[in-house]
Structure 1
Amino acid sequence: MVLASLVLLLEGEAPPEPLGLRGFFYGLLKEVAPEVHDQGENPFSLGFGGKEGEYWARIALLREELYGRLSPRLFALEGQGVRLGKPFRVKAVLQEGHPWAGLTTYPRLFQAPPGPDLPLRFFSPTFFRRKGVHYPLPEPRLVLESLLRRLEGSASLPPPPGVREALLDRTTVRWFEGKTVRAEAEVETVGFVGRVVYHLPRATEEELAWLWALGRFAFYAGVGAKTSLGYGRARVILPSGAGGG
């Protein structure tokens, strides 16, 4: 029941390209886990960032068996050259010690919800497929439905009766601060970046546990559409000194 995010520290002259990173990762999948392409919701997400020659790419894996197959190949890339749209040298492969690296388990996602307010920050353009178009606003139902689908698809963890309805029907927005920005997918679109505090009023302890589990899961799974291109990269951001994230 392990989830992992591995970060490749890169030397190069420009950031990785979304299609290049996805193509590289799909090449690895074809070698070690070709069945993943036919399993519905992706059990992984990708991302990238950095500046001025110090770039990074991340590969987050939502299934323990996928982590077991892929992690040896990824760790072996240290010191090697890779092509992620452009050529890079892999300086290091990190499972900790980077803001976007990490390792946890599904049970740990459900531990110690701090309260009814879930603060999420969206770092890369986030959008949703809605009525045949890309929709760029992080409405509570869209965000939580996206995360529930991926949680159920990756770990077979459906919420208990009544909890899904509580999350989707009662969660509101307490705070919203962000903007829309251009996103280059296969077609040009627009996504949201910024901070949203979601609020679940009159919540039971079980409902809060699920709300926070979904928020923590977002770090690994991403939110919305095209997470295989680095979009929807999000995480819980707690105020300084707060616990439970």
Structure 2
Amino acid sequence: MNIQLKPNTELVGLEFTVVPQKSATLFPDYTKTLHAWFLDQVRSHDPQLSTSLHDDESKKPFTISGLTGKMGHTEGQLQLLADQTYQWRVTAFSSTVVQWLGQWLDQLPPTIELRFAPLEIQSVGLAIPPTTYAQLYQTELAKTLTLSFVTPTSFRRKGHHLPLPWPVNIFQSYLRRWNEFSGMPFDDETFLAWVDESVLIHRHQLESVKVAAGKQGKVTGFLGAIEYGLTREATNQRHFQRLFTALGQLAPYCGTGHKTTFGLGQTRLGWLLEPSALETLLAQTRLTQQIEALTEILMQGQKRTGGERASKVCQTQATILARQEAGESLGDIATDLDMPYETVKTYAKRARRILKSI
């Protein structure tokens, strides 16, 4: 692929144009298979980098998106359409990963091999221009920042999801990545105190959503757009205003919140929403609602309804049953949940038995 990245490049966003070789059901949490395929590519070409990305949970200097493009609909499920063109984004925000991407593009495989459908790679282009942290820091000072969250976005706070783009949480998310990978760290306590006092929400258009994510869990997040602005006094501290501006420019590269390597937290500059993201969201929401309803029913059928273990078992059974009813095979579910096939099969039978007895 004819993309040349300069040796000093530290951040870049790539967009792959892909075509499914057959029509296939697109399961709501399919981004996990894209995540696994991408990391397998890293492992094949650079085992040392792969180990680093796997072992250090906090250091994930890349994001991936879901597929965007025209989807079909069958029985409430999204369908990839054969010969239809789709886009897939990968961003990197460390020099190490960017350098690997540059080498990888020279030996890119012809297809993305996924269990639901092989995707032929037709082309790769720049989604976000290559740049450096120093260049981001020299961006012309801004008094406002408008962001769109085009996939569900969430933060973790005290062990729970926080589905709100409070200024402190937003800029803490970006500053953590900046300090980790830019080589130009800033004191987070003083800057975030300034954010708390100085950054206002001018307007927003947001929806809260709950989607399936992770092995058995769900994420409560938000989707939409927001505009932040600065108080008049805030501009007296130019060094903080400059960091405010730079972190806003960083957002599309690093994403927002957690699980950004699984398609969540995709962020764009400006006020927009992608229709395809909304379509995928509807499918994710349907699965989540089905899992919640089944979990509640299964809990009612438990001989022992109390305890965290009983709740977790019921949720796992509900997840398996909902995904099987959506058309996914038990084998694929077992692989995805990292559970023995026989255990998944037993859970599915037990869940059906409980449902029949109620």
TM-score range, shorter chain: 0.7 to 0.9
CA deviation after TM superposition for structure 1 residue 77, in Å: 2.6
In structure 1, what is the equivalent of residue 220 of structure 2?
190
- How many residues are aligned here? 234
What root-mean-square deviation, in Å, do the aligned CA atoms of Structure 1 and Structure 2 show?
A: 2.3
Asked if the contact 1:148–1:214 (Cα under 8 Å) also holds between the matched residues in 2, the reply is: yes
Aligned residue in 2 for 1:2: 10
**More strand by percentage:** 1
Aligned counterpart, 1:64 = 95
- Whose RCO is larger (CA < 8 A, sep 6+)? 1
- Which residue number in structure 1 is paired with residue 326 of structure 2? none
The structure-2 alpha-carbon separation of the partners of 1:195 and 1:117, relative to structure 1 and needing over 3 Å to count, comes to: same
Deviations 1:182-236 (A, max 9, x none): 3221122222111111122122222221111111101100000100111111122
Q: Distance in 1 between matches of 2:140 and 2:192?
A: 17
- In structure 1, stretches of 5+ residues that fail to align are 240-245
Partner of 2:31: 18
1:243 aligned residue: none
TM-score by length of 2: 0.60
Please tell me whether residue 207 in structure 1 is matched to residue 240 in structure 2: yes
Quote the Cα distance in structure 2 between the aligned partners of 1:35 and 1:112: 31
Task: Please give the secondary structure, in 2, of the residue aligned with 1:158.
Answer: coil
Q: State the Cα distance separating 1:59 from its structure 2 match.
A: 1.4
Write the deviation string for residues 56-94 of structure 1: whole angstroms up to 9, x where unpaired.
21111111122112332235336x121245310001111
Do the aligned partners of 1:4 and 1:61 also contact (CA within 8 Å) in 2? yes
Name the amino acid aligned to 1:4: V
Displacement after TM superposition at 1:238 (Å): 7.0
Change (3 A) 1:85 1:19: farther
Structure 1 distance, partners of 2:209, 2:135, is 33
SS of the equivalent of 1:103 reads strand
- Deviation, structure 1 residue 168: 4.0
Instruction: Please state which structure has a larger fraction of its residues in helix.
Output: 2
Q: Is the partner of 1:159 in helix, strand or coil? A: coil
Tell me, yes or no, if structure 1 residue 49 matches structure 2 residue 67: yes
Match of 1:76 in 2: 107
Which SS does the other structure have where 1:143 is aligned?
helix
**Mapped partners of 1:115, 1:82: distance in 2:** 40
- Per-residue CA deviation, residues 1-55 of structure 1 (Å, 9 max, x unaligned), is 5201111111024669210111011112323112232342311111133223221
TM-score normalised per structure 1: 0.86
Unaligned 5+ residue runs, structure 2?
1-8, 71-83, 273-358
Contact 1:215 1:235 in 2 (8 A): no
Structure with greater Cα Rg: 2
Aligned to 1:28: 41
Residue 175 of structure 1 corresponds to: 203
State how far apart, in whole Å, the 1-side matches of 2:271 and 2:151 are.
Answer: 18
The answer to whether the 8 Å contact 1:41/1:149 transfers is no
Distance 1:238 1:115, change over 3 A: farther
Q: Aligned with 2:243: secondary structure?
A: helix
- Quote the sequence identity (%): 26
* Separation in 1, partners of 2:162, 2:14: 29
Amino acid corresponding to residue 102 of structure 1 in structure 2: P
SS in 2 for 1:167: helix
Query: Which of 116-125 and 174-183 deviates more?
Result: 174-183
Report the Cα distance in structure 1 between the residues aligned to 2:67 and 2:196, rounded to whole angstroms. 32
Judged with a 3 Å threshold, the aligned counterparts in structure 2 of structure 1 residues 26 and 93 are, in CA distance, closer, same or farther, namely same
